[in-house]
Homo-oligomer: A and B are copies of this chain.
Amino acid sequence: MQSKLAFIGFGNVARALAKLIERKSDGLKSKYGITYSVTGIATGRHGFAVNPNGLDIKEALALVEQGKSISHLSALPVENSLDVIRLSAADVVFENSPVNYETGQPAVDHVRAALNAGAHAITANKGTVVHAYRELTDLAQSKGRKFMFESTVLGGSPMFSTFREAMPLAELKSFKGIINATTNIILSRMEDGESFGDAVMYCQSIGIAETDPSGDVDGWDASIKVAALATVLMDTPTKPQDVDRKGIRDITPAMIMDAKREKKRWKLVASAERDRGRVLARVAPGLVDASSPLYGMMGSSSGLTFRTDVLPDYSITISEREGLKGGPEETAYGLFADFINAVSAT
């Protein structure tokens, strides 16, 4: 079938997704019978465009990458993202607006509008899961559409879909892992003798830490991801504020060297476990030794260990390697996988 696609937000991730869809178009068609056209694009700074008969995606990509507006491509007058969602007649809306951790907006409104317009809503925005998972999932179900968000945790690596499809009826008792790249890079570099401040500056220089690094360093980003995982995989609504949170500011170079002498490592460990009907979620520095799957996760590597009622401990690890370090391309792949799974399932 022909899927009409709308992109709400057209930054690095969304553009990587558009290119990935183009690159994989033969496989989409031959393996899944999916063809597509792009009927709507909403950008942050380069205007809005809608054409229910299809926009020229290559031209739109080129314009935005040259810093130009796409507004003249539009066949209809559109002034904002909600116009694009409403007028694009899209079957699939990719929501990639900037994250607001406190309210989840405007992403939650975009997803709601997309589902109400009869489209699948696919997002990499953690705010939607933390603030409105139950509402949006129920709304999707009532419309016979899908609300999907694989890319919100561990880039585009399968995490939610593993439990949705690969491990049906497994009861998740607890999980534990490393899910914030910035703090893991900082701790890895401190083990090599770099100071905390220099390591933070390094992360800022490669574009993975903000000017104010406290969202990562104080464990907020990890807390949001733990909350999202607990909300979905343990079916227990969990807010970032519910997470018992401690960052890495108190980890001194001396502590790291002491650990190294004992062949151990400090890691910012995120975890959650069921405890008498509740979920206890936590982000805190922890000492791990070589027997832990976390020990070998250095730099931007990350991963989670899941304890269920049906299997031995099951760990997923994403290892950095040259040229592929969890950038926009990987996040785009999670959106792409959601796209295929949403369209195939309905």
Residue in contact with A311 in the complex, picked from B166, B292, B318, B341, CB distance below 8 Å: B318
Minimum C-beta distance from A199 to chain B (A): 19
Give A19-73 interface residues, CB cut-off 8 Å to B: 20, 24, 27-28, 31-32
The residues of B that contact A32 with a CB separation of less than 8 Å are 168
Residue in contact with A317 in the complex, picked from B155, B156, B161, B317, CB distance below 8 Å: B317
The residues of B that contact A169 with a CB separation of less than 8 Å are 24, 27-28, 31, 336, 340
Closest-by-CB residue of B relative to A170 is B333
Whether A311 lies near B31 (C-beta < 8 A) is no
Whether B165 lies near A311 (C-beta < 8 A) is no
Given contacts A28-B169, A169-B31, contact A310 B333 (CB under 8 A): yes
Whether B311 lies near A321 (C-beta < 8 A) is no
User: Interface size for chain A: under 10, 10 to 19, 20 to 34, or 35 or more residues?
Assistant: 35 or more
Residue in contact with A315 in the complex, picked from B170, B317, B341, CB distance below 8 Å: B317
The residues of B that contact A314 with a CB separation of less than 8 Å are 157, 316-319
A296 located at the interface, meaning its Cβ lies under 8 Å from any Cβ of chain B in the complex: yes
The residues of B that contact A295 with a CB separation of less than 8 Å are 290, 296
The residues of B that contact A329 with a CB separation of less than 8 Å are 310
Closest-by-CB residue of B relative to A302 is B312
A272 located at the interface, meaning its Cβ lies under 8 Å from any Cβ of chain B in the complex: no
A 116-142 to B, binary, CB cutoff 8 A, 1 in contact else 0: 000000000000000000000000000
A313 located at the interface, meaning its Cβ lies under 8 Å from any Cβ of chain B in the complex: yes
Residue in contact with A324 in the complex, picked from B156, B312, B321, CB distance below 8 Å: B312
Question: CA separation between A319 and B28, bound complex, in Å?
Answer: 35
Give A126-179 interface residues, CB cut-off 8 Å to B: 155-158, 161-162, 165-170
A80 located at the interface, meaning its Cβ lies under 8 Å from any Cβ of chain B in the complex: no
The residues of B that contact A166 with a CB separation of less than 8 Å are 158, 161-162, 165-166, 337
Closest-by-CB residue of B relative to A344 is B168
Closest-by-CB residue of B relative to A171 is B27
A298 located at the interface, meaning its Cβ lies under 8 Å from any Cβ of chain B in the complex: yes
A328 located at the interface, meaning its Cβ lies under 8 Å from any Cβ of chain B in the complex: no
Whether B312 lies near A168 (C-beta < 8 A) is no
The residues of B that contact A337 with a CB separation of less than 8 Å are 166-168
A303 located at the interface, meaning its Cβ lies under 8 Å from any Cβ of chain B in the complex: yes
Whether B296 lies near A165 (C-beta < 8 A) is no
A253 located at the interface, meaning its Cβ lies under 8 Å from any Cβ of chain B in the complex: no
A305 located at the interface, meaning its Cβ lies under 8 Å from any Cβ of chain B in the complex: yes
For A28, A161, A167, which residue has the most chain B Cβ atoms within 10 angstroms?
Answer: A167
Question: CA separation between A158 and B311, bound complex, in Å?
Answer: 10
A326 located at the interface, meaning its Cβ lies under 8 Å from any Cβ of chain B in the complex: yes
Closest-by-CB residue of B relative to A310 is B333
Q: Which 3 residue pairs are nearest across A and B when measured between Cβ atoms? A: A158-B166, A315-B317, A161-B166
Known: A162-B162, A165-B166. 16 other contacts (CB 8 A): A20-B310, A27-B169, A32-B168, A158-B167, A161-B165, A168-B337, A296-B296, A305-B317, A311-B318, A311-B333, A312-B321, A312-B326, A314-B318, A314-B319, A315-B316, A315-B319
Can you give 11 A-B contacts (C-beta < 8 A)?
A: A31-B168, A32-B168, A162-B162, A166-B166, A168-B340, A170-B333, A290-B290, A305-B317, A312-B326, A315-B315, A317-B317
